[in-house]
Amino acid sequence: MANSFEIKSTQLPLVALLLKTPELARVIEDLDAQFGPHGESPDFFDKDMLVLDFADLESASLSQALPQLLTTLQHCRLKPVAFRNAEKALAAKALACGLMEVSADMPRAKPMVQTKRADRPVAEPVREIVREVIREVPGPATLVIDKPLRSGQKIYARGADLVVLAMVNMGAEVVADGHIHVYAPLRGKAMAGASGNTRARIFSLCLEPELISIAGIYRTSENPLSKDIQGKPAQVRLSNDGQDKLLFEALNP
């Protein structure tokens, strides 16, 4: 069954919820099942700010269910703060709910090099000094776990890759904003690109997971893997054709 929503990172310090259906009741149900207090990943978010993206959805019922959607997002440890791509009636409802409207094109982050204006003659006796500040950008961090993860345990590599040197048992969760490497059987849940990194990948020497997710696109064990992937060394990545499909590829020895 296709996802009713997609969560992506933006170039601002927040995430975007892209609605794929005007049936907000279904979106609410899916969000609660995945990220709600009793869902599959109740601690996936940590008060992350969120912008609602209504794209080109055309339905008057959206505004009626909007307050319930906002409540569900808060239960999922998300903080809705803005919206975009909304029709007039829906925009009015969103503004009434305390959201602010942002443009469809989110502003890009400022570069790491900051330069002040050069000296120039002005009417007032003010001098400006040229200074250039260059920040050293650290490489991506990596969290290494060398002990087996039992059912009920969860590891989150926030802003980092995750390397696990032992088994991830059923009921355990490994989450990373970057890549996930499991040099052992992966039998629990693995969620890479947790903050929306669509280039993140998952690697395992024995892939037999309960759930696999990259940037919010997921697949559960209810949809079995093919025989050449199940229990074999493999990697998981998102397709680059714009359809956001999970691709499972065997790793040849």
DSSP, collapsed to helix, strand or coil, labels residue 91 as: helix
Tell whether the model's pLDDT for residue 86 goes beyond 70. Answer: yes
CATH of domain 5-101: 3.30.750
Angle at alpha carbon of residue 31, lines to 28 and 33, rounded to 5°: 105
CA 184/CA 207 separation, integer angstroms: 9
List, edge to edge, every strand of the sheet that includes 189-192: 154-157, 173-176, 189-192, 211-214, 217-220
* Pick from 53-57, 201-205, 234-238: least confident: 53-57
C-beta of residue 248 within 8 angstroms of C-beta of residue 228? no
Q: What is the CA radius of gyration of the chain?
A: 22
40 — pLDDT class (breaks 50, 70, 90): confident
Domain map (residue ranges) of the chain: 5-101, 141-250
DSSP secondary structure, 202-243, as one string: EEEEEE--SEEEETTEEEETTSPPPTTTTTSSEEEEE-SSSS
Question: For the segment 202-213, what is each residue's pLDDT rounded down to a tens digit?
Answer: 999 999 999 999
The answer regarding whether domain 141-250 maps to CATH 3.30.930.10 reads: no
Question: For the segment 118-170, what is each residue's pLDDT rounded down to a tens digit?
Answer: 444 545 555 555 555 445 445 558 899 999 999 999 999 988 999 999 999 99
Percent of the chain residues topping a pLDDT of 70? 77
For the entire predicted model, the pTM comes to 0.51
Which of the listed ranges 42-56, 60-74, 86-100, 235-249 does the model predict with the highest average pLDDT? 235-249
Question: For the segment 4-23, what is each residue's pLDDT rounded down to a tens digit?
Answer: 666 665 545 567 888 777 78
